[in-house]
Structure 1
Amino acid sequence: MIKVAILEYENESMEVALALSKIYAYQDWTFRHFTKASDLARRLKEEEYQLFVFDEVFKTPRLESVFVHDHPNSMFVYLCENPIRTKGNDQRHRVLYLDKGNIRQEVLQVQDQLLSLSHQMDSYELNYDGVHVFLPYPDIYYLDKMEKMIYFHTKKGEFHERANMSDLEKAFTPYGFLRVHVSYLVNAIHIVAWYKDEVELDNGDRIPLSRQQKRKILALKKSNRTLG
């Protein structure tokens, strides 16, 4: 089940809930509305949330540390008067900035990223040295190919199997993974920065980024933002 925490005024919270109800029409999901960050912080001691929706007034270094930094597998949405200004140079793929004056349309435009949350709770099964291993998608940082072997870099360590990268790209794309290079497939929720020829992950690793793949990713992001 996808659990959503909304830290906003009541009117905006209802707009968000209505928009999410369309996106998660075929998934199990629930939300809780909070008006104080302290109430949400206390609630986090009892349950986890996969998606946080905050008013931009809560984008402070202290609250970023409490919520964003301490929940690396969750996605965050800031509702802003001016999303471009509030975002600044923030390149984290799992942090979105939406126009609070047009909430329903803005939420629908990022539905692919929000839908990836439901898939992230699944696991990938591989046969590692004769043993079946289940890797939760949020625990996978990236995959890289060396000759005919695919290496899985995860929070549990490194695993490998013989597989085709193109086949894995098709299987992993619905889970929020991006083909940033012919030999690398990266879990977008772990991307914290984009550079000219690399992407940086929240574990400190830097992954090669090819110009061709970068153009494809940017074109896809642009098309998603112009839907409807």
Structure 2
Amino acid sequence: MIRVAFLEYEKETKDIIFELSKVFNELDWTFRHYRKASDLAKVMKKQEIHLFVFDEMFKTPRLESVFVHDNPNALFIYVCKNALATKDKDQRSRVLYIEKDHIVEDIKKYESIILSQCSQVDLYNFSYDGVHVNLAYEDIYYLEKIDKMVYFHTKKGEFHKRVNMSELETIFAPYGFLRVHVSYLVNAKHIVAWNKDEVQIITQENIPMSRAQKRKLMAQIKPKMPE
């Protein structure tokens, strides 16, 4: 079940809910509207929320610390009068900016990102040392190919198995994982910065990005990548 929380005016909330119903039309999801950040903070301690939709007035260092920092798996959408101005130099892949006057167009533009990153509550199953392991896609930082092994770098530790990287790319791509290098698949949700030849993830690790793969990604996520 995907849970969505709104800290937004009613008019914009209704418009966004209508558009999200199209994005999540094949998924189970629920939403709730909050008038105060304090009310949402209390609920947040009791249940996981996968998507936060905030009015730009709530983009302050204090509230970002409470909500964005304390919910590293969640996706955030700020609704703004001027999305580019509010976004400024923010390169976090899990923070999106849409404009109040272009809600329909912007939700549609980010549809694949919203769907893939919110769907990461699903589980990836594989056997590790004879034991079946269930990993939520959102708990996986990146996959690394070393020789014939693929290493899964996750919040639960490191796992590995012998498997074809291209096969994994097919499985993981719908969940927002990007092939930034022939040897790396990175969870876009955990990317905090795009550099010239590498991406930085939330753990402060820098993952190499090849020129060939960067060209392939440019059309898909050009607004988030440096020229």
TM-score > 0.5, shorter chain as reference: yes
Q: How many Å apart are 1:119 and its aligned residue?
A: 2.6
Q: Structure 1, residues 131-152: CA drift from partner, whole Å, max 9, x if none?
A: 2111111110000001110000
| Alignment partner, residue 89 of structure 1 | 89
Q: Percent identity?
A: 60
Preserved CA contact (<8 Å) 1:124 1:135 = yes
Residues 102-135 of structure 1 show CA distances to partners (whole Å, capped at 9, x for unaligned) of 1122111111111114430111112212221111
Q: CA deviation at 1:158?
A: 0.6
SS at match of 1:90: coil
- Structure 1 equivalent of residue 8 of structure 2: 8
Counterpart in the other structure of 1:69: 69
Which whole-Å deviations, capped at 9, do the CAs of 1:166-193 have from their partners, x for residues lacking one? 1100110001100000000001110001
Inter-partner Cα distance in structure 1 for 2:146 and 2:167: 15
Matches within 5 A, 1:146-161: 146-161=146-161
1:163 is matched with: 163
Number of the residue aligned with 1:105: 105
Deviation at 1:88, TM superposition (A): 0.7
Aligned counterparts, 1:109-148, within 5 A: 109-148=109-148
Q: Secondary structure at the match of 1:49?
A: coil
Partner of 1:226: none
SS of alignment partner, residue 53 of structure 1: strand
1:44 matched to 2:69? The reply is no
Show structure 1 runs of 4+ deviating over 3 A.
none
Matched position secondary structure for 1:73: coil
Deviates more, 1:113-122 or 1:146-155: 113-122
- Range with bigger deviation, 163-172 or 43-52: 43-52
Where 2:153 maps in the other structure, the secondary structure is strand
Give ranges in structure 1 of 5+ residues lacking alignment: 224-228
1:171-186 maps to which residues of 2 (within 5 A)? 171-186=171-186
Cα deviation, 1:32-78, whole Å, max 9, x if unaligned, reads 11121111112212222100000111000000000000000000000
TM-score (norm 1): 0.95
The answer (yes or no) to whether the contact 2:6–2:34 under 8 Å persists in 1 is yes
How many residues are matched? Answer: 223
**Partner AA of 2:184 in structure 1:** Y
**What's the CA shift string for 1:9-35, capped at 9, x where partnerless?**
010110110010111111111111112
Distance 2:155 2:46 in 1: 23
TM norm structure 2? 0.95
Write the distance in 2 (CA, Å) between the matches of 1:62 and 1:215: 37
